[in-house]
């Protein structure tokens, strides 16, 4: 009986908690379960979901990328300065942050795959490196229209309407970042489950030596995972800048824990027991619903980290208790 209950908890626990949270917040606030609030929740989690997808890739190959939050901060500042400081065209503004994200992923891969530094230590070091780099680059200032420059002049450029539409506009009545998020979730799910490269990632994460003996180029697969992680963090940085209309120097700082929590909650969605993008999406939904509901209940913002921490601990407990029981 106990084992069956644990199996049910592992398989449906996350979905049950999401449903229960919906019910509770709906009962205590009549404005919670409205179309406008639901779309606001999806819009709010779109950026976190992109970061969490990046973490999912690194987790699939049995790694961990702690640098994604700092990557978001750097690409946010880079995106903003390209437009406000240097008046670059839109395609440059969108391309360069992706290249920066990919370069950070390559740096992580070099340290982890080539130099054999443990992934947590390598990405932690890169996180601090990027944090110092982007604050030095921006001189510690957020980037915004008509900001004063160090020489006493004003910034020559400004955020274009076309760029801001990426984060604030709607398509077919749906916020554009939400559409991008849904396309990304579906696309990554198909990539991971129905392509040779996706299956190789799972095999590599399951047993590197077995993957190598079966002919899989393990190092190349791991490099690809970290590059994809950096690219998705870069996309999140672009979306964040377009949404708020400025380049915030610490934009990515709170996103790391939310993304990690979403990934580990996703382990238990429908009993997957492994990193998966559909579970990651539901994990992001859970966190988004909790934060939105607590905001509507006027919970002080400094208490939100308690909720995030509890969600992460609960997800880890459910996942690893079940996994350890299966091993035993």
pLDDT in tens, 246-272: 999 888 888 998 898 899 888 777 656
pLDDT surpassing 70 at residue 328: no
Give the per-residue pLDDT at 196. 94
0.85 exceeded by pTM: yes
Which has more pLDDT, 256 or 307? Answer: 256
Residues 17 and 145 grouped into a single domain: no
Residues 196 and 325 grouped into a single domain: no
Residues 167 and 192 grouped into a single domain: yes
Give the per-residue pLDDT at 319. 66
Of the pLDDT bands very low, low, confident and very high (cuts 50, 70, 90), residue 298 is confident
In a domain, residue 44? The reply is no
Burial code (b: 16+ CB inside 10 Å, e: under 16) for 134-148 equals bbeebeeebbbeebe
In a domain, residue 308? The reply is yes
Residue range 164-181: average pLDDT?
A: 94
* Mean predicted lDDT score pLDDT of the chain: 88
Residues 81 and 194 grouped into a single domain: yes
In a domain, residue 74? The reply is yes
Which tens digit of pLDDT belongs to each residue from 13-64? 667 778 888 888 888 888 888 888 999 899 999 999 999 999 999 999 999 9
Low-confidence winner among 86-95, 195-204, 206-215 (lowest mean pLDDT): 206-215
Residue range 61-74: average pLDDT?
A: 95
Residues 65 and 28 grouped into a single domain: no
In a domain, residue 42? The reply is no
Give the per-residue pLDDT at 186. 97
Give the per-residue pLDDT at 223. 96
Of the pLDDT bands very low, low, confident and very high (cuts 50, 70, 90), residue 140 is confident
Say how far apart CA 136 and CA 215 lie, in whole Å.
44
Give the per-residue pLDDT at 270. 62
Say how far apart CA 175 and CA 159 lie, in whole Å.
19
Which of 231, 253, 275 is the last residue before a domain boundary?
253
pLDDT surpassing 60 at residue 226: yes
Which of 253, 283, 306 is the last residue before a domain boundary?
253
Residues 247 and 319 grouped into a single domain: no
Residues 249 and 211 grouped into a single domain: yes
Residues 303 and 164 grouped into a single domain: no
Say how far apart CA 259 and CA 284 lie, in whole Å.
7
In a domain, residue 39? The reply is no
Which has more pLDDT, 323 or 310? Answer: 310
Contact 108, 230 (CB under 8 A): yes
What is the distance, to the nearest Å, from the Cα of residue 39 to the centroid of all Cα atoms in its chain?
Answer: 19
Say how far apart CA 254 and CA 191 lie, in whole Å.
28
> Hey, what long-range contacts does 16-24 have (CB within 8 A, 24 or more apart)?
17/286, 18/282, 18/285, 18/286, 18/289, 21/286, 21/289, 21/290, 21/293, 22/289, 24/293
Residues 226 and 206 grouped into a single domain: yes
Residue-number span of the structural domain to which 8 is assigned: 1-33+254-328
Instruction: Say how many domains are in the chain.
Output: 2
pLDDT surpassing 60 at residue 326: no
Residues 140 and 244 grouped into a single domain: yes
Residues 218 and 267 grouped into a single domain: no
In a domain, residue 91? The reply is yes
Residues 211 and 71 grouped into a single domain: yes
Give the per-residue pLDDT at 249. 86
pLDDT surpassing 90 at residue 94: yes
In a domain, residue 45? The reply is no
């Amino acid at each position: 009986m106990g084992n069956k209950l644990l199996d049910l908890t592992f398989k449906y626990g996350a979905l049950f908690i999401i449903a229960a949270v919906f019910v509770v917040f709906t009962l205590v606030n009549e404005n919670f379960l409205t179309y406008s609030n639901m779309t606001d929740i999806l819009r709010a989690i779109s950026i976190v979901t992109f970061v969490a997808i990046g973490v999912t890739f690194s987790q699939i190959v049995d790694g961990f990328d702690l640098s994604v939050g700092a990557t978001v901060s750097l690409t946010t500042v880079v995106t903003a300065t390209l437009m406000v400081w240097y008046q670059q065209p839109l395609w440059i503004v969108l391309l360069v942050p992706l290249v920066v994200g990919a370069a950070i992923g390559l740096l992580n891969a070099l340290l982890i795959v080539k130099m054999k530094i443990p992934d947590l230590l390598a990405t932690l070091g890169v996180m601090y490196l990027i944090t110092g780099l982007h604050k030095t680059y921006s001189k510690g200032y957020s980037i915004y229209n008509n900001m004063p420059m160090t020489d006493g002049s004003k910034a020559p450029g400004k955020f274009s309407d076309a760029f801001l539409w990426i984060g604030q506009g709607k398509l077919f009545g749906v916020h554009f970042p939400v559409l991008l998020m849904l396309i990304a979730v579906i696309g990554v799910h198909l990539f991971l489950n129905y392509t040779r490269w996706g299956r190789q990632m799972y095999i590599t994460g399951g047993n590197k030596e077995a993957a190598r003996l079966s002919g899989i180029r393990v190092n190349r697969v791991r490099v690809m995972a970290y590059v994809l992680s950096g690219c998705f963090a870069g996309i999140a940085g672009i979306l964040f800048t377009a949404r708020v209309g400025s380049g915030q120097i610490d934009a990515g700082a709170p996103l790391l824990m939310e993304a990690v929590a979403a990934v580990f909650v996703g382990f238990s969605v429908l009993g997957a027991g492994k990193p998966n993008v559909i579970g990651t999406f539901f994990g992001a939904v859970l966190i988004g619903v909790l934060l939105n509901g607590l905001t509507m209940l006027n919970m002080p913002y400094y208490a939100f980290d308690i909720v995030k921490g509890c969600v992460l601990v609960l997800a880890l407990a459910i996942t690893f208790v079940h996994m350890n029981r299966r091993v035993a």
